[in-house]
Amino acid sequence: MAPTQNTRVALIQMSCSPDTQLNLDRAAERVYKAAAQGATLVCLPELFRAQYFCQREDHALFGLAESIPGPSTDILTRVCREANVVLVASLFERRAPGLYHNTAVTIERDGRIADTYRKMHIPDDPLYYEKFYFTPGDLGFKATETTAGKIGTLVCWDQWYPEGARLTALRGAETLFFPTAIGWHPSEKEEFGTAQYEAWQTAQRAHAIANGVFVCAVNRVGHEHGDVKFKAPAADGNPATVELHGPGDHTPHSGIEFWGGSFIADPFGRILAQASHDKEEILYADLDPKLVEVTRQHWPFLRDRRIDAYEGIAKRFLD
């Protein structure tokens, strides 16, 4: 049953260290903190367990991947039970040997895995070499009924595509979550930084308006080179510590400066809360579920869609 009272959402904008265990521990700590402030629906950034490793192509980094259920969900399901929250967490999923996904897991308050979503749109850009690691999702766009409302999750690069947001909303989602890892190439920041961030935010606010939904986008902060320290099975089967260092000379002009700027928008695209560009924060907003219906009554975009005239939308290009 959908909630009739406001839902307090918390977005955990965090920096990520090379130590994957430390990142998991710090994420759990922040979930508890958000719950203590009344949050019942919490979202972590994309691939929060590690620094953003897709800055280069390295087969050793597949050692970061894990099954779902697996080590991370074992911890996070306990956290959800103890904190009494619904949690969205983005993980590097090992589905089968040689088959990996960028997967968001929704965990209910009782610790049950309510749903999974596999990132559909996979980028391949300088310092974002995700096609090397991730197979495109095959679960489709989904809406998940939770005790904190009906939500939909899309991941990072998905946030630029109106089709994904639309189909998720058409399945009944009233709040869209976009766990994200996006930032500036430091050499481009001065010239393009403001425009890039504003385009990112505008695209997602447009999803809120066009679909009459809340949008919650949560990013990481900090300058990263993709350094990673994690436990992996050794030849004798016992866990061994693996340390990998990112490419480049580790100067301020290399790597990625993640721009933070997490935000929550209402169904009319108005910003309810926005985080800084350079600080770890927990961002809160109280979402009124009645606002979805009221907004859609006054701006009936779903009513007036010409579903009889959209046959070309499934084609790559109309010649």
The predicted pLDDT at position 123 comes to 98
What average pLDDT does range 85-89 have in this prediction? Answer: 98
The predicted pLDDT at position 238 comes to 77
pLDDT band at 48 (very low <50, low <70, confident <90, very high): very high
Angle (CA) 207 209 210, round 5°: 65
What average pLDDT does range 199-205 have in this prediction? Answer: 98
The predicted pLDDT at position 70 comes to 97
pLDDT band at 194 (very low <50, low <70, confident <90, very high): very high
Q: Of 37-46, 196-205, 231-240, where does mean pLDDT reach its minimum?
A: 231-240
pLDDT band at 164 (very low <50, low <70, confident <90, very high): very high
Burial of 291 (0-12, 13-18, 19+ CB in 10 A): middle
Higher-pLDDT residue of 236 and 172 is 172
Q: Considering only CA atoms, which of 81, 78, 103, 79 is closest in space to residue 31? A: 79
The predicted pLDDT at position 2 comes to 55
Which tens digits make up the pLDDT trace of 105-117?
A: 999 999 999 999 9
The predicted pLDDT at position 193 comes to 96
Domain boundaries, the chain: 7-314
Which tens digits make up the pLDDT trace of 5-32?
A: 899 999 999 999 999 999 999 999 999 9
Which tens digits make up the pLDDT trace of 56-76?
A: 999 999 999 999 999 999 999
Burial code (b: 16+ CB inside 10 Å, e: under 16) for 146-179 equals: bbbbbbbbbbbbbbbbeebbbbbbeeebbbbbbb
The residue written with tokens 């219906």 in the block is 293
Domain 7-314: give its CATH code. Answer: 3.60.110.10
Instruction: Name the helix (H) or strand (E) containing 167.
Output: helix 162-170
Distances (CA, A) of 274 to 14, 141, 197, 265, 307: 14, 26, 13, 9, 35
User: Does pLDDT of 253 surpass 90?
Assistant: no
Quickly list DSSP for 70-88: SHHHHHHHHHHHHHT-EEE
Structure-token pair, residue 250 = 């580790």
3-state class of 42 per DSSP?
A: strand
User: Does pLDDT of 131 surpass 70?
Assistant: yes
Scanning 171-273, the segments in alpha helix (DSSP H) are: 186-211
Q: What is the pTM of this model?
A: 0.96
Write down the mean pLDDT value for the chain.
96
User: Does pLDDT of 232 surpass 90?
Assistant: no
Active site residues: 46, 119, 156
The predicted pLDDT at position 3 comes to 63
pLDDT band at 300 (very low <50, low <70, confident <90, very high): very high
Q: Considering only CA atoms, which of 265, 269, 245 is closest in space to residue 255? A: 245
The predicted pLDDT at position 250 comes to 86
User: Does pLDDT of 247 surpass 90?
Assistant: no
